[in-house]
Amino acid sequence: MLLKKHISILFLLIGLNGFAQNDTIKITNGLDSNSTQYLTPIEYAFMFHEDTPWMLKGGVDSRESLFLAFERRIKGGFTANFSLMYANRLPYSGYSNVLIANIAARYYYNMRLRNKSRNTPFNLSGNYFSLGYEIKNNGTSNEKITRNSIEYINAERGLNSTYFLKWGMQRRYLKNGFIDAGIKAAYSSNGDYYNSFQLHSETSIGLAFAKDKSSLNDKKLCSVIKCFESDRSVFKFNITDLFEFQTTTDYSNFWLNPEISYEVKLGKSPFSISNTIKSSIDFYFNPYKNDNGNVTPGTAHINQSEPDYHYLLVNIGYLFETRYYFNLKNRILKGKTGNGLSADYISLGVYNYYQNNDYINYTSSALRGGDHFNFLQPQLNIGTQRFVGDRFFYDLGAGIRFTDLLDKVHPSNNRSGAEVLLRSKVGFRF
């Protein structure tokens, strides 16, 4: 299953270079006659024609973190990337208000060959390997967190150091956009108290700023931005946060998070109906016991009489929303889209979330019933959706989710108020 998910990501990354190859564009804007380049429309959209010694980036990553980053080319395909991230919450962990500082060296391994064989300048659109270090603050020393109705002391509290290796693909998109997707392996440590290894997919999307020499010709981009496309409906498969494997001092986890959406336009109006199903499969395994039958130091269990267990946690979320594409008419008049679903929108929806915990006793391997939760959460969003080429899309936005209609099965777990949502989706469309 994990191999299949890896393959899905690789198809996207490879595919982003693979479509719109039938036509080429001759690029001479801002260049002398000896620097003429012949690019496909998608390479033109990815700014392959621009020399890019530096880039300032900001946006949202797959862990719903806000970030600001600066990347500088050192020599050839080598760059240095600095970033600062803030996470209101980290999925699967329960930690909130986390600050992360990151520094990494990147090597764009295909950039020199592209420069030599195709006369394209050195830029920051390419595939790379990255080696880096980050430090994050996971909260106070006395903080307690709750996972699946079990209370823990935060073993990852304080400052955590992380060393990572990443394979990724970064692309500038239409001057002021960018996407960075890949697979990351990381080792984290909090002294002798807590250590973990992670392997997960990672995606970042947002705005980018660089010093360019020329402006883009929109007429050369129609096959990419789909100037005349007027889709009436679309299936979307989001791969932004597809999988994660983690093994720590105390436990091991494996998550799969597939998400599929179907959106249909209401006649020729700027309104649509969107249906999204997001599932999460989490397998937790805790085999680490000492001679006394207690869990080894790391995460301290509180009020937990049976620490030696593993569980299968299945979450299924369904989002029903109606969207209003408020600038669709304006984009049609400017020749940037047909009367379809590629525009900016506001949406109103209801998110229904079901969580089922089934616990398996570690000693007897006997299945016993776990907790069952049902959440009903209205939400309001504003965002932008764009179709890229024939098979790809991105959807970026923010909103608010009202949380006081939670958990009618276990009222003690109810929360009230609202929470901020960050929407960051990249994937296939059909």
| Mean pLDDT value across the chain | 78
Mean pLDDT, residues 20-31: 55
Confidence of residue 32 (pLDDT cuts 50, 70, 90): very low
pLDDT at 361: 47
Contact (CB, 8 A) for 348 and 238: no
The 10 Å Cβ neighbour count of residue 140 is 10
- Residue 122 has which token pair? 């050195």
More confident site: 190 or 406: 190
Q: Which residue has the tokens 């700014």?
A: 47
Decide which of 325 and 188 is more confident: 325
Tokens of 190: 């909090």
Q: How confident is the model at residue 39 (pLDDT cuts 50, 70, 90)?
A: confident
pLDDT, mean of residues 192-201: 81
- Which residues have a Cβ under 8 Å from the Cβ of 425 and sit 6 or more positions away? 236, 238, 240, 259, 393, 394, 395, 396
Question: What pLDDT is attached to residue 419?
Answer: 79
Say which residue, 10 or 395, is predicted with more confidence: 395
Collapsed DSSP state (helix, strand, coil) of residue 413: helix
Cβ distance 341 to 231 under 8 Å? yes
Identify the pLDDT of residue 96: 60
- The whole-number pLDDT of residue 233 equals 94
- pLDDT of amino acid 411: 45
pLDDT at 323: 97
Coarse DSSP helix, strand, coil percentages of the chain, rounded to the nearest 5 percent: 10, 55, 35
State both tokens at 18: 């693979």
C-beta neighbour count of 268 within 10 angstroms: 8
End-to-end CA distance of the chain: 22
Q: What is the pLDDT of residues 69-86, one digit of tens each?
A: 999 999 989 999 999 998
* Per-residue pLDDT tens over the stretch 206-257: 999 999 988 888 888 888 988 888 889 999 999 888 899 988 877 788 888 8
pLDDT digits (tens, 9 = 90+) for 246-305: 888 777 888 888 999 999 999 989 999 999 998 888 887 765 544 444 444 444 333 344
Across the range 381-409, mean pLDDT stands at 83
pLDDT confidence of residue 153: 47
295 secondary structure, DSSP code:
B
Cα gap 253→242, rounded to integer Å: 14
pLDDT value at position 375?
74
Q: Give the pLDDT confidence score for residue 148 in this predicted structure.
A: 44
pLDDT of residue 289: 47
Q: Give the separation between CA 105 and CA 107, rounded to whole angstroms.
A: 7
Decide if 60 contacts 204 (C-beta within 8 A).
yes
- Count other Cβ atoms within 10 Å, centred on residue 211: 10
